[in-house]
Amino acid sequence: MAAAPEYCLAVNCGSSSIKFKLYQTRSQQVLLAGSASNVQGSSPAKFAFKHVPQQQQQNSTDLSEKVERELDSSTSYQDVEQVLGKGGKDRIKVIAHRIVHGGTAKEPVVIKHGDKSEQETLKRMDEVSDFAPLHNHHAMLIVKTCLESLPSATSVLCFDTLFHTTIPTFRTTYAISTPPHDTPVPLVRYGFHGLSYASILKQMSEELSIPSKEVNLVVAHLGSGGSCCLIQGGESKNTSMGLTPLEGLPGGTRSGSLDASLIFHHTPDCSETVEWSGRPISKAEFVLTKESGFKALTGSTDFGEIIQRAFPDSSSSSPSKEQETALLTYNLYLDRLLGFISSYITALLSSPSPHNKLLGLVFSGGIGERSARLRNDVLEHFRWVEELAGSQAGVDEKSNEAGEGRRRITKDGSRISGWVVETDEELECVQLAMAASEADK
* Residues with a known catalytic role: 160
For residues 164 and 106, the answer to whether their CB atoms sit within 8 Å is no
SS (H, E, C) 195-212: HHHHHHHHHHHHHHCCCH
For residues 419 and 362, the answer to whether their CB atoms sit within 8 Å is yes
Comparing CA positions, the residue from 179, 208, 112 lying closest to residue 408 is 208
What is the spatial distance between Cα 355 and Cα 413, in angstroms, rounded to a whole number? 20
Helix (H) or strand (E) holding 13, with range, is: strand 7-13
For residues 196 and 98, the answer to whether their CB atoms sit within 8 Å is no
Q: Is 224 one of the annotated binding-site residues?
A: yes
Q: Is 199 one of the annotated binding-site residues?
A: no
- Cβ-proximal residues to 262 (8 Å cutoff; 6+ apart), any chain: none
In 3-state terms, what secondary structure has residue 229?
strand
- Cβ-proximal residues to 427 (8 Å cutoff; 6+ apart), any chain: 10, 21, 23, 28, 199
For residues 397 and 72, the answer to whether their CB atoms sit within 8 Å is no
Q: Is 46 one of the annotated binding-site residues?
A: no
Q: Is 34 one of the annotated binding-site residues?
A: no
What is the spatial distance between Cα 137 and Cα 79, in angstroms, rounded to a whole number? 26
What is the spatial distance between Cα 418 and Cα 397, in angstroms, rounded to a whole number? 12
The answer to whether the Cα torsion of 228, 232, 235, 238 is positive or negative is negative
What is the spatial distance between Cα 121 and Cα 115, in angstroms, rounded to a whole number? 10
Q: What is the dihedral of CA 315, 321, 323, 325, to 10 degrees?
A: 150
Render 145-191 in DSSP notation, one character per residue: HHHHHSTTSEEEEEEGGGGGGGS-HHHH--SSPPPSS--SS-SS---
- Cβ-proximal residues to 305 (8 Å cutoff; 6+ apart), any chain: none
Q: Is 12 one of the annotated binding-site residues?
A: yes
Comparing CA positions, the residue from 185, 162, 189, 161 lying closest to residue 175 is 189
Q: Is 98 one of the annotated binding-site residues?
A: yes
- Pairing outcome for strands 217-221 and 360-364: parallel
Q: Is 225 one of the annotated binding-site residues?
A: yes
What is the spatial distance between Cα 275 and Cα 302, in angstroms, rounded to a whole number? 25
Q: Which residues are annotated as a binding site?
A: 12, 19, 98, 221-225, 425
Q: Which residues are annotated as a binding site for substrate?
A: 98
Q: Which residues are annotated as a binding site for Mg(2+)?
A: 12, 425
